[in-house]
């Protein structure tokens, strides 16, 4: 199946799903921003209570991470699977496609793992949380954007320019 040739009803169904999960993810990002401000200091203070020494009781911090991660690991894994599965129908070559579908899972693994390390090893791991959280989000939005692009924009460009559409936009 190629997205430009898909029936209109399937394009609408997939597009609405992708748009709604994108909006849901943005709300999740807003929640993270409200808790940490997307800063190293905000992440460390939110989970440890202090940059230099841990002022949040370890039992409380452990309980908080278990509660947050068990829900997020299940839900984000399913979300990344569904969006990644839709991404596999794009015309991108297989090797880059495999990299792109793995990227949000790798980002999630390092992001969530670094929170545990921030808490129980060193606050310096907060930088990994910040970096790989951003990597996870960017890769997720790429997985959403490419199918939408191939369904709605690429057909217009191909109709207008035919084979003259640059390879990087196909």
pLDDT tens for each residue of 81-114 = 999 999 999 999 999 999 999 999 999 999 999 9
Tokens of 106: 């790798």
What value does the CA radius of gyration of the chain take, rounded to a whole number of Å?
Answer: 19
Tokens of 71: 């829900």
**CB 114, CB 132: distance < 8 Å:** yes
The pLDDT of residue 50 is: 86
Lowest mean pLDDT among 46-50, 93-97, 160-164: 160-164
Annotate 102-117 with three-state secondary structure.
Answer: HHHHHHHHHHHHHHHH
* Statement: residue 137 has pLDDT above 70: yes
- Name the packing angle between helices 58-87 and 40-48 (round to 10°): 130
* Statement: residue 161 has pLDDT above 90: no
Q: What would the pLDDT profile of 2-44 be if each residue is shown by its tens digit?
A: 898 999 999 999 999 999 999 999 999 999 999 999 999 999 9
Question: What mean pLDDT comes out for the span 127-145?
Answer: 98
Going by C-beta distance under 8 Å and a sequence separation of 6 or more, which residues neighbour residue 98?
none
**CB 28, CB 111: distance < 8 Å:** no
* Statement: residue 52 has pLDDT above 90: no
Q: How many CA atoms lie within 13 A of 32 on its CB side?
A: 19
**Rounded CA separation 150/169 (Å):** 9
**Rounded CA separation 43/49 (Å):** 9
Query: What value does the mean pLDDT of the chain take?
Result: 94
Q: pTM, whole model, 2 decimals?
A: 0.93
The pLDDT of residue 167 is: 67
Q: Angle at the Cα of 65 (from 112 to 133), degrees rounded to 5?
A: 25
| Number of C-beta neighbours around residue 76 at 10 A | 21
The pLDDT of residue 108 is: 98
**Rounded CA separation 114/71 (Å):** 17
């Amino acid at each position: 199946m190629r997205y430009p040739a898909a029936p209109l009803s399937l394009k609408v169904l997939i597009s609405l799903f992708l748009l709604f999960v994108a909006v849901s993810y943005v709300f999740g990002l807003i929640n993270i921003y409200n808790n940490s401000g997307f800063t190293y200091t905000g992440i460390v203070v939110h989970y440890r209570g202090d940059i230099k020494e841990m002022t949040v009781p370890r039992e409380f911090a452990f309980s908080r991470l278990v509660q947050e991660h068990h829900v997020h690991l299940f839900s984000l894994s399913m979300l990344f699977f569904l969006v990644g599965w839709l991404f596999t129908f794009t015309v991108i070559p297989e090797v880059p496609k495999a990299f792109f579908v793995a990227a949000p899972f790798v980002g999630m693994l390092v992001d969530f793992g670094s929170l545990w390390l921030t808490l129980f090893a060193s606050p310096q791991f907060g930088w990994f949380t910040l970096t790989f959280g951003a990597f996870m989000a960017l890769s997720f939005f790429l997985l959403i954007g490419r199918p939408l692009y191939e369904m709605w924009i690429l057909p217009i460009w191909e109709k207008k320019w035919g084979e003259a559409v640059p390879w990087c936009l196909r």
